[in-house]
Every structure is written in C-alpha cells, then in structure tokens.
C-alpha cells in the first residue's frame, strides 16, 4: 500500500506534463469553437485516441495508480484545457466504470472496446440513470426491465434524461427497475448494444455550459436485449434480490447502500474536474491583473484585486487537497466515515463557481465577453454543483454521515 505523500513521483509528473501539453496544444485552442457549435468535438476525441488519452488502457492505468492520484491529476489537467471538450473525452469512462464495477469479465472484454472504438473510428458510450422524475431521488426511477424467459431477453421501457452522449453512443448502459418493491435495491444495469431497435434519442439539450458535451434524452420503447446484457448476470441478480426481499420481509437492519460507497469513491473525480476549471480561470485572472493598468499602475497593485487572487488560489489548493485525500482514501480502501468523497466534490464545485465569477470581475468588461475564456469557464463551472449529486445532496450525505440522523 502506497504511503501518503504530496510529492508526485516521476511517472506521475511525466503523465501530468504530457496531459497538460495535450490540454494546452489541442483542447484549449479548440474550446471556443466547439462551445459555439454545441456539438461533440469528434476530431478532438480522435486526436485524444491517437495519442492514447481516449482509451480504456489510459484510464485503467490512472485508476490503478496505487497512490490514488492518477485520476484526479488527469481530470484536473484535461478540464484545465476545457470542460466541455474534456467531458466529451472522459464521458465514455462513466459508462465504462458502470461495466467495470458490475460486469463479468466477459462483459468487460466484450463491451468496453466497443465503447471506445479505435483511433480511426472512435465511438462513445453513455450511462443512463437519471429520468425526468428521478434526478436526485434515484429510487423514483420508472424505467422497467422485464425478463422474457421464453427468449432469454430483457425488455426495457422508459425515458432517460440528461444522458451524456445519450443517443449518439455506440453502447448505452441503462439502469432500470427489476423489482419495484425494493426501491433502489431493485435496480439493475443493462448493456444496450449498438443498433438495438427501440432505443432512440429524444430531445438534445441546449445548455448553459459544457456545450461541447452532448446531453440528451434517451427513449426506450420495447427495447429487447439478450440475457447476457444484464450486468453481472442473472444468477447474481437473483441472489441480490432474494437477500433484499428477505431483509424487507424481516424488517431487518438496512444494509449499507453499496451505491453510496461507489459514489463516495467516484465524486472526487468530479471535484478534480472542478479544480481544473477553477485553476484555468484563476491563471487567466492573475495574468490579466498583472498586465492591465488603470490609474497608472497594474490593477493587481490594489489590495482589492490582489486579495481576491490570494483567496482564489487558497481555495483552489484547499479543494485539490480534499480531492486528493478522498481519492487516496478510495484507492487505499479507507472507510469514508465523514463522507470525505462528498466533501471534496462539494467544496471543489462550489469553489469553481466562485472563482470563475471572481475571474470575470477581475477582467472587467473583457471578462464579460467571449473574447476571453473566463466567461465560458464560469458557464462551465455551473455544472459541477449539479451533476453526480447536487451540492444540496452532498450536504445531506455529509450531514447524515456525521450525525447518523435521517436529515431531510
Ligand atoms: C449536463 C448534464 C449532464 C448529465 N449527465 C448525466 C449522465 O451522463 N447520466 C445520468 O444518469 N445523469 C446525468 N445528469 C443528471 C444529473 O445527475 C442530475 O441533473 C442531478 O442528479 C440532479 O437531478 P435533477 O436535475 O433532476 O434535479 P432535482 O433532483 O429535481 O433537484 C432540483 C433542486 O432541488 C434540490 N433538491 C432535491 N432534493 C433535495 C433534498 N432532499 N434536499 C435539499 N435539496 C434537494 C437539488 O439540490 C436541486 O437544487 C446530467 C445532468 C446534466 C445537467
């Protein structure tokens, strides 16, 4: 087990610098164009695939970094480049993690390569959980999966929303209800293979930020998938459901929700994205404050500006430390006894919103225009307090974990 240290080792520094180079040379120059176009930046994803950044191998390497810092470091650098493009590059990873976490070895080997495609023919994948009436309240999910024993198929019906890459994905991972009496314990995840009839894209959303990332509804009408598309397999599902039913019947103690533990481990990655955006805006603001003169001196000569920059940098560093702590805890198997994963996501996402707003203020009129990137960064930053659990939900999780009380 790796000792905790804030010193990156040589391999980590090399990866960080390589990613930073890609973010600076390829992502950042394309950011404004794809934000305006509001389209998936396929050529940039292809570039990322060519150099090996858009691949399962790359994520697996970062994921298995024994210090836990591989993923947060990668996210920070890519999102420093641009949040919308970076999400287009890492969005497939969300679906891939769904398969890695719940799938059999065969499912992992079959479906993950189809999620990424190859450098000459890149593909993306989507993870579809949220629904119009089931956002924060996942247990309110309505999409049903019914087993057809005669054909060994599952039949999926329902409407998913807010799916990153929804409808344009080669492979969709869909969470559906298999036993409505068990709340979120009665959910299961399914692969919907490429070209399956009955799956279609609904509305594509026009968004406030991360506009290069495709977000859409996914409509499922009598979608039939083979039995082997149930992640983890039927035997495991039946055992899990039987245990949950037994617990409900006996009115027994609630088991610790496995999904919550997974979220604690995955939320720091979103925190790291927020740190990347915040750092990008801070750097632009710092440069500007040193070069823009008013009243015969650089505006940073005023404490009113300099102190803002001092606070911005302090909060960004604090956010990164929370993110790194939580990532290290996840990798080294430390229990999240104070919801440290949620803490990191809460603090980093709120910091990104605040810091990007301050950056606009420091750039004055220029900050308010699309001639400078901080306006886009501020719009992008707004997503971090919403997806992967809103700030309010993070606070609920933290408060419940700390107090043991069912705070509403
Ligand atoms: C750009 C984008 C990409 C996304 N990508 C994906 C994806 O790939 N896959 C996927 O499945 N989902 C995705 N989502 C969905 C995202 O996770 C949800 O939007 C999020 O969980 C919030 O759900 P909601 O939008 O329904 O808000 P709601 O749950 O309706 O919340 C509305 C407001 O009420 C507050 N609220 C709700 N309950 C409580 C409570 N108990 N206490 C206090 N306040 C509360 C919330 O904090 C929020 O401020 C994406 C969303 C966006 C915007």
**CATH number (domain holding residue 56):** 1.10.540.10
Q: Is residue 145 part of a domain?
A: yes
The pick from 90, 136, 139, 189 for probing ligand 1's pocket by mutation, whose C-beta has the most ligand atoms within 8 angstroms, reads 136
The range of the structural domain enclosing residue 330 comes to 258-403
User: What CATH code is carried by the domain that includes residue 333?
Assistant: 1.20.140.10
- Asked whether residue 137 falls in the same domain as residue 50, the answer is no
Q: Is residue 4 part of a domain?
A: no
- Asked whether residue 67 falls in the same domain as residue 94, the answer is yes
User: What does the block give as tokens for 250?
Assistant: 């006996």
pLDDT of residue 348: 98
What average pLDDT does this structure show over 209-222?
98
- Asked whether residue 236 falls in the same domain as residue 276, the answer is no
Q: Which residue has the tokens 């290069």?
A: 212
Q: Which of 250, 281, 313 is the C-terminal boundary of a domain?
A: 250
Q: Which of 63, 88, 122 is the C-terminal boundary of a domain?
A: 122
Q: Is residue 36 part of a domain?
A: yes
Q: Is residue 371 part of a domain?
A: yes
Q: Which residues contact 107 (CB under 8 A, 6 or more apart)?
A: 99, 191, 228, 231, 232
- Asked whether residue 138 falls in the same domain as residue 197, the answer is yes
SS3 386: coil
Rounded-to-integer distance, Cα 290 and Cα 255, Å: 55
Residue 284 has pLDDT above 90, yes or no: yes
Q: Does the C-beta of 386 come closer than 6 Å to ligand 1?
A: yes
- Bridge partner list, 158: 220
- Asked whether residue 215 falls in the same domain as residue 304, the answer is no
Ligand 1 closest atom vs CA 164: 8
Mark whether 388 is an active-site residue.
yes
User: What CATH code is carried by the domain that includes residue 139?
Assistant: 2.40.110.10
- Asked whether residue 333 falls in the same domain as residue 398, the answer is yes
If one counts the domains in the chain, the total is 3
For residues 260 and 270, the model is more confident at 270
- Asked whether residue 222 falls in the same domain as residue 292, the answer is no
Q: From the CB of residue 9, how many other CB atoms can be counted at a distance below 10 Å?
A: 12
Q: Which residues contact 331 (CB under 8 A, 6 or more apart)?
A: 2, 65, 66, 67, 68
Distance 17 CA to ligand 1 centre (A): 34
Residue 242 has pLDDT above 90, yes or no: yes
% of the chain with per-residue pLDDT over 70: 97
Instruction: For strands 171-177 and 125-128, give the pairing.
Output: parallel
Q: Is residue 5 part of a domain?
A: no
- Asked whether residue 294 falls in the same domain as residue 171, the answer is no
pLDDT of residue 80: 98
- Asked whether residue 314 falls in the same domain as residue 385, the answer is yes
Q: Is residue 1 part of a domain?
A: no
Q: Which residues contact 132 (CB under 8 A, 6 or more apart)?
A: 159, 161
Res. 17 pLDDT band, cuts 50 70 90: very high
Q: Which of 226, 250, 274 is the C-terminal boundary of a domain?
A: 250
Rounded-to-integer distance, Cα 349 and Cα 210, Å: 14
**3-state SS string over 296-344?**
CEEHHHCHHHHHHHHHHHHHHHHHHHHHHHHHHHHHCCCCCCCCHHHHH
CA triplet 248, 136, 168: central angle to 5 degrees? 110
- Asked whether residue 145 falls in the same domain as residue 72, the answer is no
User: What does the block give as tokens for 236?
Assistant: 């495991």
pLDDT of residue 325: 96
Q: Does the C-beta of 132 come closer than 6 Å to ligand 1?
A: no
- Asked whether residue 216 falls in the same domain as residue 84, the answer is no
Helix axes 258-291, 374-381, angle to 10 degrees: 160
Res. 1 pLDDT band, cuts 50 70 90: low
- Asked whether residue 145 falls in the same domain as residue 103, the answer is no
Lowest mean pLDDT among 89-103, 113-127, 156-170, 275-289: 89-103
User: What does the block give as tokens for 246?
Assistant: 């037994």
% of the chain with per-residue pLDDT over 90: 89
């Amino acid at each position: 087990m790796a000792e905790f240290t804030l010193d990156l080792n040589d391999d980590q520094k090399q990866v960080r610098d390589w990613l930073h180079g890609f973010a600076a040379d390829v992502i950042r120059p394309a950011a404004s164009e794809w934000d305006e176009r509001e389209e998936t930046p396929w050529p940039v994803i292809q570039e990322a695939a060519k150099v090996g950044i858009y691949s399962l191998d790359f994520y697996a390497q970062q994921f298995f970094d024994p210090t836990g810092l591989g993923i947060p470091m990668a996210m920070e650098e890519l999102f420093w480049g641009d949040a919308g493009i970076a999400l287009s590059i890492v969005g497939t990873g969300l679906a891939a993690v769904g398969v890695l976490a719940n799938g059999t070895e065969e499912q992992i080997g079959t479906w993950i390569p189809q999620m990424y495609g190859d450098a000459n023919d890149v593909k993306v994948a989507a993870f579809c959980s949220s629904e119009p009436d089931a956002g924060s309240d996942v247990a309110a999910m309505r999409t049903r999966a019914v087993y057809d024993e005669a054909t060994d198929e599952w039949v999926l019906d329902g409407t998913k929303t807010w799916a990153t890459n929804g409808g344009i994905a080669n492979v969709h991972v869909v969470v559906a209800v298999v036993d409505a009496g068990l709340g979120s314990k009665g959910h299961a995840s399914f692969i919907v293979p490429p070209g399956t009839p009955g799956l279609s894209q609904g509305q594509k959303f026009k968004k406030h930020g991360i506009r290069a990332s495709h977000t859409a509804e996914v409509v499922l009408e009598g979608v039939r998938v083979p039995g082997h598309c149930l992640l983890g397999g039927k035997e495991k599902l039946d055992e899990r459901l039987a245990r949950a039913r037994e617990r409900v019947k006996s009115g027994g103690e609630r088991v610790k929700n496995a999904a919550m533990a997974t979220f604690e481990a995955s939320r720091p990655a979103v925190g790291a994205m927020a740190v990347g955006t915040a750092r990008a805006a801070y750097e632009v603001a710092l440069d500007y404050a040193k070069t823009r003169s008013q009243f015969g001196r650089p505006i940073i000569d005023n404490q009113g500006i300099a102190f803002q920059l001092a606070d911005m940098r302090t909060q960004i560093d604090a956010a990164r430390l929370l993110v790194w702590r939580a990532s290290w805890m996840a990798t080294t198997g430390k229990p999240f006894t104070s919801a440290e994963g949620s803490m990191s996501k809460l603090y980093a996402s709120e910091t990104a919103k605040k810091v990007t707003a301050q950056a606009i203020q420091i750039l004055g009129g220029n900050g308010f225009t699309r001639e400078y990137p901080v306006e886009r960064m501020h719009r992008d930053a707004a997503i971090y307090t919403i997806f992967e659990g809103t700030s309010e939900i993070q606070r609920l999780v933290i408060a419940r974990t700390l107090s043991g009380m069912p705070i509403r």
